[in-house]
Amino acid sequence: MKKIKIFVCCTEQSGENICSNILSRMDLNNLIIDGVCGKQSEKYITKKFYDLSFFKSIGLFEILLSISKYLKMIKNLKKEIIQNNYDLIITIDSPDFNYNLVNQLRKSGYNKKIIHIVAPTVWAWRSYRAKKFASIFDEIFLLFSFEKKFFNFNNLNSTFIGHPIFHIKKRERKKHYKYISFLPGSRQNEVLKLLKYFNHIEEYINSEKLNWKIFIPTLPHLEEIIKNNTKKWKTETIISIDQSKFDDYFNDVFMSITCSGTASLEIAKRNIPQLVIYKLNFFTELLLRPFIKVKYANLINIISNKMIIPEITNSNLNKKNLLNAFLNLSNSNENQNVQINEINNYLNEIVKDYSPYDVSADRIKRLILFPEPIKN
């Protein structure tokens, strides 16, 4: 029996998590899988063209500085894909890079089935991307049910799969907790940007002699960076890459300072009060501001259209604002309880209690066994 050839492309950690979990559910005996991925997925990959570590940009300004590198990658990947004539292409997250790669393939006449997992956030900004994606992709997998209405096109199948944080359990309620958690992000650039703001919180904890420890869960490629940038801290700090221990630590976390994105949704699912922060490059913020349609950065706030989770972003993120928001939350049990209660009112709308990996793997298997007509 001829083996099915699949190309996968994920260029950031959230996509890598999805990729590895889906591939682990596939029957690899009948497949040849090549592509772009990180350490988690490479055990399923026959030929790896680029590692996750090649992709470090986070904002438009940073991407523009690296544009020649990314264009060269796209050119090389396009050549490999055409030469290998894969039966199925799966791109995951990273909408700008993956759109440009697939667009180049379609312009070259490539007509095999291409699916994209994790829709671009067209409901927040750059809504025109929905139509552009529909013009080149055959199917899109959605994390949120409300996204269906944004991708309602005749030539695009859309499959709601659910969100990867489905499995996260709520923190145990107790009188006393040991830790405050810092989640600085999954990309090197954003981690380096945000760590100086975490420094302000650590300095305050130390100066006030508060009986708290700091817990920083992170990824292997960021561990040394975080260690080097926190080695002068006087507060006891645990930096962990062991995901099997994360639940135990989080059960002892009373609040979190969290980078905007998937991490803040994970903290919300754990029922841990949090303060969300983010910092784009100044020029990136300036260029993107006219295109952003929503008032908030955090998904819970966007869905509810109010500030349930306090957030300080971009030009508003400074030491004074950060410490004020931190004290307002950390010193008030009432504010913490109100946040958790309000989050739970909206969380069920966002996160379903089933595995998106099972849904995705089943759909991909069906596409392999019963290929549907490909768009012209």
The per-residue pLDDT for range 299-324, each reduced to its tens digit, is 899 888 899 999 999 889 999 999 99
Instruction: Tell me what pLDDT residue 16 has.
Output: 93
**Which of 139, 140, 80 shows the shortest CA–CA distance to 105?**
80
Instruction: Tell me what pLDDT residue 353 has.
Output: 81
| Residue 338 clears pLDDT 90, i.e. is over it | yes
| Tokens of residue 96, six digits | 């700008």
pLDDT band, very low/low/confident/very high, at 125 (cuts 50, 70, 90) = confident
Q: What are phi and psi of 327, to 5 degrees?
A: -65, -35
Q: Which one has a higher pLDDT value, 263 or 290?
A: 263
pLDDT band, very low/low/confident/very high, at 117 (cuts 50, 70, 90) = very high
Q: In this structure, is residue 376 part of a structural domain?
A: no
CA 63: distance to chain centroid?
17
Give me the CATH number covering residue 19.
Answer: 3.40.50.2000
pTM of the model: 0.83
Contact indicator for 179, 252 with CB cutoff of 8 Å = yes
All residues at 6 or more sequence positions from 33 whose CB lies less than 8 Å from its CB, including other chains: 5, 6, 7, 8, 23, 26, 44, 45, 46
- What are the beta bridge partners of residue 141? 117, 159
| Residue 326 clears pLDDT 50, i.e. is over it | yes
| pLDDT single digits (tens) 43-63 | 999 999 999 888 865 455 556
Q: In this structure, is residue 170 part of a structural domain?
A: no
Averaged confidence pLDDT in the chain: 90
| Residue 267 clears pLDDT 80, i.e. is over it | yes
Number of domains in the chain: 2
- Expressed in angstroms, the distance from the first to the final Cα of the chain is 28
| Residue 155 clears pLDDT 90, i.e. is over it | no
| Residue 29 clears pLDDT 70, i.e. is over it | yes
196 and 344 in a common domain: yes
322 and 270 in a common domain: yes
Describe the strand order of the beta sheet including 213-217 as a list of residue ranges: 237-240, 213-217, 179-183, 253-259, 274-278, 311-313
Q: In this structure, is residue 306 part of a structural domain?
A: yes
Boundaries of domain holding 342: 179-350
Torsion angle of the four alpha carbons 332, 333, 339, 345, in this order, in degrees rounded to the nearest 10: -160
pLDDT band, very low/low/confident/very high, at 166 (cuts 50, 70, 90) = confident
Contact indicator for 116, 91 with CB cutoff of 8 Å = yes
